């Protein structure tokens, strides 16, 4: 029997990026997702007119961007003093206080990356809509996919809400246009990331218009599964654009998106351990040292993350206390323990355990960004509460350690290759059908 790698055209095949299972590419109707039958990962989400919708949303997002970042969000009034804040100012304040790493993290995640994300997806969708297939498009779309992980404006929006609730009892708050523009910007960005049909974009970029975007490819067959993995069949799945290539291209560039091809992420286990160790070491000073300093009539009062949480519980703000506790304490600890569990091999090869691990990996990837919440709240408070000698709020050393924990755990998730969970186990299940489900949104 001929191997499927005898031919160089693998467009009728698709592999799961989380477990490497190889499947015959099913025709997935618009409004439906293709779910991996082995690990439950959403392999693709199809949407009709994705390019046109993305173009319209990115234009609206770009129009809102400058007012959202530069206009004042709100003014806080207390004991005759008042101060207002905008997003950019909150970032610059960290810089002025010489918290360069914190300032850099907040600047890139809340200001620079959201702009680059909107600009890149606008250029790509505009070019594809005009059927101009410039040579830079694959590289630009690759950049967009990386930016999706690091742009965190929705976390900043939650930070604004927490600040409002935190200060609402002790100060009068007046809202300005900036907060509405920023909320609009967050909603537009979230809509883009949820409706974008990545497969549609890659097909349009890769085929350079030979096939109309969104149109079913003629060589596709109705979906039915194929036991085995991409690696087992001599194929490499590009982890950026999900194109399959023969293993002969190991270490070379993906013909579609130019990313370096590897059957498994290189040094995945050792790199992930190193990053986990880094985050575990910095977790102690991040939690034990003060993260914020409140100066009242010249008397400084330093508080740690835990002190901040206790403050909310003492003032009956249980929900906010719980949110901060989850984002700042539970999430980093859960991520570190969770990735350690994933790294430990599973000699039993129980398919249910493997599926649980795959689910845990997806959950860890999703929650990582929410740890930045407390940093964003402090960013806003330092600008909003700056009433000179009377009272002012300042950032304290734990913020730097906390940012190192967030960044290193996020990098640990990126360097971890979830396919190694399945590699040592040969699962003796034969999958006969792909699972196509309607997108619930």
Interface ranges with Zn ion (CB under 5 A) = 16, 18-19, 21, 36, 38-39, 41, 238, 240-241, 243, 254, 256-257, 259
d(CA 233, CA 121): 34
Distance in Å, CB of 348 to Zn ion, minimum: 19
Instruction: Name which of 35 and 323 has its Cβ closer to Zn ion.
Output: 35
Q: What is the DSSP string of 289-330?
A: S-SEEEEETTEEEEE-HHHHHHHHHHTT-HHHHHHHHIIIII
Instruction: Name which of 18 and 89 has its Cβ closer to Zn ion.
Output: 18
Distance in Å, CB of 202 to Zn ion, minimum: 8
Instruction: Name which of 230 and 410 has its Cβ closer to Zn ion.
Output: 230
Instruction: Name which of 96 and 424 has its Cβ closer to Zn ion.
Output: 424
Listed in sequence order, the residues at least 6 apart from 428 whose beta carbon sits closer than 8 Å to its beta carbon are: none
- 366 — phi, psi (to 5°)? -75, -40
In terms of Cβ atoms closer than 10 Å to its own Cβ (0-12, 13-18, 19+), residue 210 is exposed
Instruction: Name which of 312 and 361 has its Cβ closer to Zn ion.
Output: 361
Both tokens assigned to 315? 């003032």
d(CA 237, CA 33): 19
Q: By C-alpha distance, which of 35, 13, 33 is closest to 230?
A: 13
Instruction: Name which of 16 and 379 has its Cβ closer to Zn ion.
Output: 16
Distance in Å, CB of 254 to Zn ion, minimum: 3
Distance in Å, CB of 405 to Zn ion, minimum: 29
Q: Are 213 and 203 in contact (CB under 8 A)?
A: yes
Distance in Å, CB of 404 to Zn ion, minimum: 31
Distance in Å, CB of 142 to Zn ion, minimum: 8
Distance in Å, CB of 407 to Zn ion, minimum: 25
Establish how many alpha carbons lie within 13 A of residue 343's alpha carbon, considering only the half-sphere containing its beta carbon.
21
Q: By C-alpha distance, which of 295, 277, 80, 114 is closest to 188?
A: 114
Partners of 81 in beta bridges: 78
d(CA 417, CA 354): 14
Distance in Å, CB of 418 to Zn ion, minimum: 9
Instruction: Name which of 19 and 151 has its Cβ closer to Zn ion.
Output: 19
Instruction: Name which of 243 and 369 has its Cβ closer to Zn ion.
Output: 243
Distance in Å, CB of 20 to Zn ion, minimum: 7
Instruction: Name which of 154 and 259 has its Cβ closer to Zn ion.
Output: 259
Distance in Å, CB of 291 to Zn ion, minimum: 39
Q: Are 240 and 257 in contact (CB under 8 A)?
A: yes
Q: Are 156 and 87 in contact (CB under 8 A)?
A: yes
For 42, the enclosing helix (H) or strand (E) is strand 42-45
The 225-229 sheet, strands edge to edge: 13-15, 21-24, 225-229
Instruction: Name which of 217 and 330 has its Cβ closer to Zn ion.
Output: 217
For 243, the enclosing helix (H) or strand (E) is none
Distance in Å, CB of 150 to Zn ion, minimum: 19
d(CA 161, CA 155): 10
Instruction: Name which of 103 and 120 has its Cβ closer to Zn ion.
Output: 120
Collapse the DSSP code of 231 into the 3-class scheme (helix H, G, I; strand E, B; otherwise coil) and give the result: helix
| Strands in 213-287 per DSSP E | 225-229, 235-237, 244-246
d(CA 239, CA 264): 9
């Amino acid at each position: 029997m001929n191997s499927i790698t005898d031919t160089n055209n693998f467009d009728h095949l698709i592999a799961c990026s989380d477990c490497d299972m190889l499947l015959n590419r099913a025709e997935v109707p618009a409004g439906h997702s293709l779910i991996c039958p082995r690990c439950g990962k959403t392999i693709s989400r199809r949407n009709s007119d994705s390019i046109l919708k993305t173009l319209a949303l990115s234009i609206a997002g770009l129009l809102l961007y400058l007012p959202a970042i530069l206009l004042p969000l709100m003014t806080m009034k207390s004991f005759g003093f008042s101060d207002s804040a905008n997003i950019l100012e909150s970032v610059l304040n960290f810089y002025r206080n010489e918290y360069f790493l914190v300032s850099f993290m907040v600047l890139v995640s809340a200001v620079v990356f959201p702009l680059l994300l909107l600009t890149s997806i606008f250029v790509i969708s505009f070019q594809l809509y005009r059927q101009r297939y410039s040579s830079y498009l694959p590289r630009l779309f690759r950049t967009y996919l990386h930016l999706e992980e690091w742009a965190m404006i929705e976390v900043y929006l939650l930070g604004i809400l927490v600040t409002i609730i935190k200060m609402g009892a002790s100060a009068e708050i007046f809202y300005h246009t900036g907060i509405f523009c920023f909320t609009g910007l967050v909603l537009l960005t979230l809509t883009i990331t949820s409706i974008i049909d990545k497969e549609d974009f890659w097909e349009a970029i890769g085929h350079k218009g030979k096939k109309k975007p969104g149109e079913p490819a003629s060589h596709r067959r109705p979906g039915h599964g194929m036991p085995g993995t991409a690696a087992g069949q001599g194929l490499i799945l590009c982890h950026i654009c999900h194109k399959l290539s023969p293993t002969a291209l190991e270490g070379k560039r993906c013909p579609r998106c130019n990313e370096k091809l590897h059957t498994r992420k290189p040094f995945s286990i050792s790199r992930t351990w190193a990053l986990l160790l880094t985050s575990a070491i910095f977790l102690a000073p991040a939690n034990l040292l003060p993260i914020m300093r409140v100066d009242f009539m010249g008397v400084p009062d330093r508080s740690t993350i835990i002190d901040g949480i206790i403050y909310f519980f003492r003032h009956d703000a249980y929900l906010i206390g719980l949110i901060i506790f989850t984002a700042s304490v539970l999430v980093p600890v859960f991520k570190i323990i969770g990735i350690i569990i994933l790294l430990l091999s599973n000699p039993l090869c129980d398919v249910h355990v493997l599926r649980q691990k795959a689910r845990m990996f997806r959950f860890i990837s999703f929650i990582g960004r929410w740890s930045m919440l407390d940093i964003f709240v402090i960013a806003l408070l330092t600008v909003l509460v700056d009433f000179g000698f009377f009272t002012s709020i300042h950032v304290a050393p734990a913020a730097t350690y906390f940012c190192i924990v967030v960044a290193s755990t996020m990098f640990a998730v990126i360097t971890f290759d979830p396919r190694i969970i399945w590699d040592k186990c040969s699962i003796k299940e034969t999958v006969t059908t792909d699972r196509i489900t309607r997108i619930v949104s």
